[in-house]
Structure 1
Amino acid sequence: MNSLPAEFEQFHWMVDMVQNVDLGLIVLDREHNVQLWNGFMTHHSGIQGHDAIGKSLFDIFPEIPKEWLQLKTKPVYDLGCRSFITWRQRPYLFKCRNVRPVTQQADFMYQNITLNPMRTTTGEVKSLFLSVQDATSEALASLKI
């Protein structure tokens, strides 16, 4: 019989999934400060979570156009709707190396990004999470590189 409460075990599972899922997960507050940085992002960007959490995304990745990203996040915060950035619009948001050993035909990871609102218990959107999908294979096949 397990002595841990079921809720604690489920919380542990959730943390383990967030850290090990094959998808980048980043939580940002309204000022674009990083609140969560998962293992996928550490592995692909080379930036450790403790070096990202609490810092502005624009300080970590100064190449991201601030005004452009603010326009992409505005409807997520203001309207509570999702927003998307595909590799066709912008090949990547985060300059990450392509870590696929067989298909090293790209110098970076092409990415599809989904910006999702995170609601408080009162329904207010104070944070959002970005999911970062590696779209390198799709992009290379489409571009025939």
Structure 2
Amino acid sequence: MSSSIINSMVQQLPGGVIVLNSHCKIVYVNKFICRYSELPERELLGKSFFSTFPEVPKAWFNRKIEAVLTQQTPEQISWQQRLYLLKFPRQTVQEHAQRYMAQNCTLMPLRDPNSGELHLCLWIQDVSEQVRYHAQLLFTQQQLKLHERQDSLTGLMNRTFWQQQLTLEIARAERYERPLALLLFNIDRFKAFNDQYSHQQGDMVLQAFAKMIAALLRDNDLFARFAGAEFALILPDTPLVGAIEVANRMKKQLAQQVLLAQHPKLHLTMSIGISVYETATLADALIQQAEQALYQAKCAGRDQTSVYTLAAKAG
């Protein structure tokens, strides 16, 4: 095959080809390089690679060149190592997309058959679409993970994920001998509200209620929608007195806040059950204790806070 045919083929390749001599001068480029650098061939040939493409870190790239030429083996620089080697703009850029072409770059040693001089060939592939697809895939995976642990209505943790976190918090409290409190609470007579105002308005109340409670909490408190209008809260490093303070703060805020603008006179209350971690208590047992306390609060007429005690259980 003649050299003219090979040259014609290289010129039409859907990727960039640059050949550098031993002094890092450009001795060959194909049309791809001219198009994306926006420089004609005559302004590229004979020029220093580093002055033509100043975005390439010189010391780092020289180490790459030395390794390829010394070992006489190709080396690839993937987009995951470095998003791009040459700062080529993408011809079509979608909103929020990377402005510059993502690239895989292969460095290959070439020896001139006449002079024996070693050259370096750069083969540059546009992998922007691959990178975009990869980013979309990661985003989708993240959304799926979020969906697995998040309540779709309120955006809070769901029950399953929250219970996993409770097990971890109990282990931490056990190990470091730190206090831990758990609150279960719900909006009183919420079914009656739904029946009177509609489930759609009920969902709006749950969303507003979740947002209101979340605003009162610390960053390390773990808040979840437990079921229906019932919510759960883990308070790390919190003794009983602190848990009662949080409960009172929540009840006071609910009494003062309008959850639905279209019903400014709507008055809702909440019942709260509290349990406190004791050594060797399992997660399920701690939840059951809070449920027992919540039941006691409802039996006491609702709009109450009840603390789990062995006496309450016996009663």
**What does residue 66 of structure 2 align with?**
74
Q: Does residue 35 of the first structure (1) align with residue 27 of the second (2)? A: yes
Residue pairs, 1:68-107, within 5 angstroms: 68-100=60-92, 105-107=97-99
* Cα deviation digits, residues 35-72 of structure 1 (max 9, x gap): 10110011112122111110111110112110000011
Where does structure 1 differ by over 4 angstroms across 4 or more consecutive aligned residues?
Answer: 101-104, 122-125
Q: Does residue 13 of the first structure (1) align with residue 5 of the second (2)? A: yes
Alignment partners' CA distance in 2, 1:68 and 1:118: 20
**What does residue 128 of structure 1 align with?**
120
* Cα deviation digits, residues 89-123 of structure 1 (max 9, x gap): 11111100112477993211000000001023389
**What does residue 48 of structure 2 align with?**
56
Alignment partners' CA distance in 2, 1:122 and 1:42: 27
Higher helix share: 2
Q: How many residues are paired up?
A: 137
Give unmatched runs, 5+ long, in structure 2. Answer: 140-315
Considering Cα pairs closer than 8 Å and 6+ residues apart, tell me whether 1 or 2 has the greater RCO: 1
**What does residue 65 of structure 1 align with?**
57
Alignment partners' CA distance in 2, 1:100 and 1:34: 28
Alignment partners' CA distance in 2, 1:124 and 1:79: 16
Alignment partners' CA distance in 1, 2:117 and 2:68: 8
Query: Which one of the candidate residues 135, 142, 145 is aligned to 1:143?
Result: 135
Give unmatched runs, 5+ long, in structure 1. Answer: 1-6
Alignment partners' CA distance in 2, 1:27 and 1:33: 8
Distance 1:133 1:121, change over 3 A: same
Q: TM-score, normalised by structure 2?
A: 0.41
Alignment partners' CA distance in 2, 1:53 and 1:41: 11
Code of the residue aligned with 1:119 in structure 2: it is R
Q: TM-score, normalised by structure 1?
A: 0.85
Alignment partners' CA distance in 1, 2:88 and 2:78: 15
Alpha-carbon offset, residue 125 of structure 1: 5.7
Alignment partners' CA distance in 2, 1:124 and 1:75: 18
Please give the root-mean-square deviation of Cα atoms over the aligned residues, in Å. 2.2
* Cα deviation digits, residues 115-134 of structure 1 (max 9, x gap): 00102338956101000000
**What does residue 3 of structure 1 align with?**
none
Distance 1:36 1:104, change over 3 A: farther
Larger Rg: 2
**What does residue 187 of structure 2 align with?**
none
Q: Specify the SS of the correspondent of 2:101.
A: coil
